[in-house]
């Protein structure tokens, strides 16, 4: 193949032609296609064929024998600006782990916007970024800048304020709106109506003052962490809701974080113990009927069960963090190791695993998201842990891949340009050394990543990961 370069010896960052020669192509639309040929030119996939493709001049040919090509991955729940000093490491850690698109689910608008602009300006070296702006919370708000709760929310006090906030976020260019737990039913509905004007999906934690079925019926597009859904699946769902409303009414002088913790302490364990199959199927039926997507963040919510902070393979990923952050995480991990996991965190993990199976069986759409950098979930690496946990929860490996490729693309209605491997799609791809369908943890065996047509071989990926 005259004029072609060998991709294994060369680091190529500028978009040009790349030919994957006899590779196994895997995506959620077509399943597994062995011995395929995929040609990329500029930032597009220009041909996908089971017949050999003539390589154009000046192209890179990648020998795909024994390798697996999947669409670029998404992490659908991240907080780029959560930890000061970590922001600038987020993009390289995502890209270095094959994550070519991310959905930021909460950060102050002035802090997240520059990252959005950077990702638009430099599409070949950053993941595509979808943003929500701040958590729209009621008052008292939870993430208010108090210790352990960085200021990533706004506490709304009136309907006028809520409408103004949604207007300003829409003008600023957010891709979705995030509603939070302390909202009153009125403010929650106001936000949904205001976002509808702009066609912006609203995702959220189910407000403590609202039942999960009500929230779904009201038009909440997606729910994060299955948060507060456990209370709605209890046989005592109604008395628990009334008790929450009383606590919220009495607690207006409390800091939001404390008030929320008190309510959770009073109700969650009881909710897990009084889980009611029949009531849960009503909740799931509402999600199905309304098209309420779920982002269970299962690697996070099984944290007490998995104790990643004492898993030596896992804590090795901390070395890719900036040094000061690495030191902080190691200290926090050592502290966490000394404590036993609480009964409630174990019950929570069991419950979420069970619910993931039910979501799958009910054919409710699930997105893979991690909540990184919260909960020792190292940016980038944690998405692969999330995929592993989704399979542990009962998904097939291809379904887990779908939740991190095609489904998030559909969520934002960009499935015509990303999420599958087809002609005319944008070239966001991950080349794996082993088959992810036989073992989902093979998504970690990354040989190369293509972002918007730019080819990152293993060496280039390692230097991205080590750039922090
Ligand atoms: Zn989050």
305 phi and psi, to 5 degrees? -80, -45
The one-digit pLDDT tens for each residue of the chain (468 residues) are 334 444 544 444 455 799 999 999 999 999 999 999 999 999 999 999 999 999 888 899 999 999 999 999 999 999 999 999 999 999 999 999 999 999 999 999 999 999 999 999 999 999 999 999 999 999 999 999 988 898 999 999 999 999 999 999 999 999 999 999 999 999 999 999 999 999 999 999 999 999 999 999 999 999 999 999 999 999 999 999 999 999 999 998 889 999 999 999 999 999 999 999 999 999 999 999 999 999 999 999 999 999 999 999 999 999 999 999 999 999 999 999 999 999 999 999 999 999 999 999 999 999 999 999 999 999 999 999 999 999 999 999 999 999 999 999 999 999 999 999 999 999 999 999 999 999 999 999 999 999 999 999 999 999 999 998
175: nearest Cα among 138, 202, 205, 206: 202
Whole-structure pTM value: 0.95
Residue pair 300/371 in contact by the 8 Å Cβ criterion: yes
Half-sphere exposure (CA, 13 Å, Cβ side) for 56? 13
Element (H, E) at 34: strand 31-41
DSSP per-residue letters across 181-218 = TT--HHHHHHHHHHHHHTT--EEEPPPTTS-HHHHHHH
Tell me the sheet residues that pair with 460.
Answer: none
Phi (first) and psi of residue 236, to 5 degrees: -100, 25
* Residue 300 Cα to ligand 1 middle (Å): 10
**How remote is the CA of residue 205 from the centroid of ligand 1, in Å?**
9
Question: From ligand 1's centre to the CA of 374, what distance in Å?
Answer: 8
CA of 199 to the centre of ligand 1 (A): 22
Q: What are the tokens at 306?
A: 């998995």
Distance 271 CA to ligand 1 centre (A): 22
Q: How far is the CA of 43 from the centre of ligand 1 (A)?
A: 31
Instruction: Give the distance (Å) from ligand 1 centre to CA of residue 67.
Output: 34
Q: What is the whole-number distance in angstroms between the Cα of residue 383 and the centre of ligand 1?
A: 14
Which contiguous run of DSSP H or E holds residue 99? strand 99-104
CA angle at residue 120 from 117 to 121, to 5 degrees? Answer: 85
Determine the distance separating the centroid of ligand 1 and the alpha carbon of 170, expressed in angstroms.
20
How much distance in Å is there from the Cα of 449 to the middle of ligand 1?
26
């Amino acid at each position: 193949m005259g004029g072609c370069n060998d991709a294994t010896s060369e680091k190529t960052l500028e978009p040009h032609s790349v030919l994957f020669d006899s590779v196994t192509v895997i995506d959620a639309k077509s399943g597994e296609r062995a011995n395929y040929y995929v040609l990329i030119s500029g930032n597009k996939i220009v041909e996908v064929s089971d017949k050999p493709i003539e390589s154009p001049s000046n192209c890179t040919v990648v020998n795909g024998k024994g390798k697996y090509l999947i669409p670029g991955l998404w992490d659908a729940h991240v907080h780029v600006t959560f930890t000061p000093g970590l922001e600038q490491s987020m993009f390289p850690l995502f890209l270095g782990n094959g994550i070519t698109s991310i959905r930021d689910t909460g950060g102050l608008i002035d802090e997240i916007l520059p990252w959005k602009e950077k990702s638009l300006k430099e599409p070949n070296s950053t993941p595509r970024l979808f943003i929500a702006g701040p958590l729209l919370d009621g008052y008292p708000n939870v993430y208010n800048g108090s210790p352990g709760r960085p200021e990533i929310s706004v506490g709304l006090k009136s309907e006028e304020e809520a409408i103004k906030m949604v207007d300003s976020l829409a003008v600023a260019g957010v891709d979705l709106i995030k509603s939070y737990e302390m909202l009153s039913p009125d403010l929650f509905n106001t936000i949904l109506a205001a976002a509808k004007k702009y066609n912006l999906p609203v995702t959220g934690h189910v407000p403590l003052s609202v039942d999960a079925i009500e929230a779904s019926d009201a038009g909440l597009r997606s729910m994060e962490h299955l948060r507060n859904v456990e209370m709605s699946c209890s046989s005592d769902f109604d008395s628990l809701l009334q008790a929450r409303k009383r606590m919220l009414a009495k607690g207006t002088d409390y800091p939001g974080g404390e008030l929320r913790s008190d309510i959770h302490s009073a109700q969650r364990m009881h909710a897990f113990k009084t889980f009611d199959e029949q009531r849960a199927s009503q909740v799931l039926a509402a999600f199905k009927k309304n098209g309420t997507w779920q982002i269970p963040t299962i690697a996070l919510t099984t944290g007490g069960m998995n104790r990643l902070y004492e898993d030596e393979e896992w804590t090795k990923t901390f070395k890719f963090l900036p040094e000061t952050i690495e030191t902080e995480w190691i200290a926090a991990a050592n502290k966490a190791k000394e404590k036993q996991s609480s009964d409630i965190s174990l019950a929570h993990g069991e419950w979420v695993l069970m619910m993931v199976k039910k979501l799958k069986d009910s054919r409710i759409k699930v997105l893979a998201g991690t909540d990184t950098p919260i909960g020792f979930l190292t940016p980038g690496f944690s998405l692969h842990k999330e995929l592993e946990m989704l399979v542990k929860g009962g998904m097939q490996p291809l379904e887990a891949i779908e939740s991190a490729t095609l489904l998030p693309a559909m969520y934002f209605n960009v499935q015509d340009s990303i999420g599958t491997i087809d002609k005319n799609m944008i070239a966001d791809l991950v080349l794996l050394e082993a088959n992810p369908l036989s073992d989902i943890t093979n998504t970690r065996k990354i040989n190369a990543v293509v972002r918007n047509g730019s080819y990152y071989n293993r060496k280039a990926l390692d230097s991205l990961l080590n750039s922090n």
